[in-house]
Amino acid sequence: EDGRLYIFLELVTQKSLASLYQRYHLQDSQVSVYTRQILNGLKYLHDRGVIH
């Protein structure tokens, strides 16, 4: 309502997708779920003209 966009980031304590992949030996299908979520978030921002 005030014209501002607030973005909240989720704290991921396992560091990065690469470290999750190495530590838990994720399957490609599991990595693709993470990747899809990241890409959906980027698309949402891009569709709204948000610079990141």
> Three-class SS string for the chain?
CCCCCCCCCCCCCCCCHHHHHHHHCCCHHHHHHHHHHHHHHHHHHHHCCCCC
Residue 14 confidence (pLDDT): 67
Residue 20 confidence (pLDDT): 80
What is the number of residues in the chain?
52
Per-residue pLDDT of the chain (52 residues; tens, 9 = 90+): 677 777 777 777 767 878 888 888 888 898 899 889 889 989 988 998 887 6
Residue 1 confidence (pLDDT): 64
Residue 40 confidence (pLDDT): 93
Tell me, yes or no, if the pTM score tops 0.95. no
Cβ within 8 Å of residue 37, ≥6 positions away? none
